[in-house]
């Protein structure tokens, strides 16, 4: 086999992306699957080959195996419509069980410890990049991918705003920044120009090689910073993740609204838009993991019921 399926996978990805899907991870997985087929001399997708490849990471979670197989399944459906010789793995071969991690809610001290831990990184640029990135995530609730995708043209520091383009579901939104955040970004950009003058990217956050940060590398570095910061897991399913900075921002925003006597429902609707959620139900899930917030909501409900009676 000499890569006969590679044009097909390219066409498949173009078609799916035209429908609004990003498919960064599935594209990587499908490339690995094609490598596996080529090494075995196969030019047809079979259920057996897909299943064997999906379970290659020995010791991986069943959900990860199921995800790998689902990436192949989508491509196999496309191939089968062109040539029935290609087989489609059944959806129940490796069933995926929905399992959301319990959010780790960072306190102000936790965030301060993470920022202090960036001092352990090797170069001045890397230290400044991760300190600014973590700080921005903590005070805006942005998704990690959104922050990595920021270009310098997306920042309007004179107006104290930043533009998030082509976010999840193809949505764009504008965020207003606090003065302290504007100052931090301004200082980072000055340092970036001095330490990475030859960077060939328009990205705000750059690596020591002068390129845009990679999602997987950011997660790996954050995991190390968690260790340096001494942050311990809340439980087996509640471990400090970089995405939990978004959860923490949402919870703290709602707690501040309640403590100020504001309308929680009105604040929830604003937060949902600010975070880029399509449905406020997604925002509510972020909040349901906070015992403090659930306690406040319970008191509000009790007061409402007492007043009605």
Q: Is 171 a catalytic residue?
A: no
Candidates 80, 239, 241, 243; catalytic one: 243
DSSP 185-201: HHHHHHHHHHH-TT---
Q: Is 166 a catalytic residue?
A: no
Q: Is 161 a catalytic residue?
A: no
Instruction: Tell me the longest C-alpha to C-alpha distance in the chain.
Output: 76
Candidates 73, 143, 212, 252; catalytic one: 143
The dihedral of CA 270, 271, 273, 278: what is its sign?
negative
Candidates 68, 73, 192, 277; catalytic one: 277
b/e per residue, 72-83, with b = 16+ CB within 10 A?
A: bbbbbebbeeee
Q: Is 190 a catalytic residue?
A: no
Per DSSP bridges, beta strands 155-156 and 161-164 are antiparallel
108-113 long-range contacts (CB < 8 A, ≥24 apart) are 110/229, 110/231, 110/240, 111/135, 111/138, 111/245, 111/248, 113/229, 113/230, 113/231
Candidates 246, 247, 252, 274; catalytic one: 246
Candidates 12, 78, 106, 286; catalytic one: 286
Q: Is 143 a catalytic residue?
A: yes
Candidates 168, 173, 239, 267; catalytic one: 168
Q: Is 277 a catalytic residue?
A: yes
Provide the annotated active-site residues. 143, 168, 243, 246, 277, 286
């Amino acid at each position: 086999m000499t890569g006969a399926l590679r044009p097909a996978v390219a066409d498949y990805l173009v078609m799916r992306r035209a429908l609004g899907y990003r498919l960064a991870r599935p594209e990587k997985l499908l490339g690995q699957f094609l490598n596996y087929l080529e090494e075995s001399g196969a030019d047809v997708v079979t259920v057996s080959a897909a299943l064997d490849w999906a379970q290659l990471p020995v010791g991986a979670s069943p959900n990860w195996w199921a995800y790998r197989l689902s990436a192949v399944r989508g491509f196999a459906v496309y191939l089968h419509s062109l040539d029935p010789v290609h087989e489609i793995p059944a959806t129940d071969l490796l069933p995926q069980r929905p399992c959301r991690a319990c959010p780790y809610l960072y306190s102000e001290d936790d965030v301060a410890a993470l920022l202090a831990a960036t001092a352990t990184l090797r170069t001045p640029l890397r230290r400044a990049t991760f300190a600014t990135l973590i700080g921005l995530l903590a005070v805006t609730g942005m998704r990690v991918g959104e922050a990595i995708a920021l270009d310098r043209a997306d920042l309007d520091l004179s107006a104290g705003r930043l533009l998030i383009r082509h976010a999840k579901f193809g949505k764009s939104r504008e965020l207003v920044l606090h003065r302290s955040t504007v100052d931090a970004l301004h200082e980072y950009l000055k340092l970036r120009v001095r330490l990475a003058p030859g960077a060939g990217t328009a990205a705000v956050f750059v690596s020591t090689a002068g390129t845009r940060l990679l999602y997987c590398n950011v997660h790996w570095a954050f995991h190390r910073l968690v260790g340096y910061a001494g942050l311990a897991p809340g439980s087996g399913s509640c471990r400090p993740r970089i995405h939990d900075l978004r959860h923490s921002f949402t919870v703290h925003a709602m707690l501040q609204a309640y403590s100020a006597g504001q309308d929680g429902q009105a604040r929830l609707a604003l937060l949902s838009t600010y975070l880029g959620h399509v449905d406020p139900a997604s925002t509510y899930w972020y909040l349901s993991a906070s015992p403090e917030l659930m306690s406040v909501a319970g008191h509000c409900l009790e007061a409402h019921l007492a007043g009605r009676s």
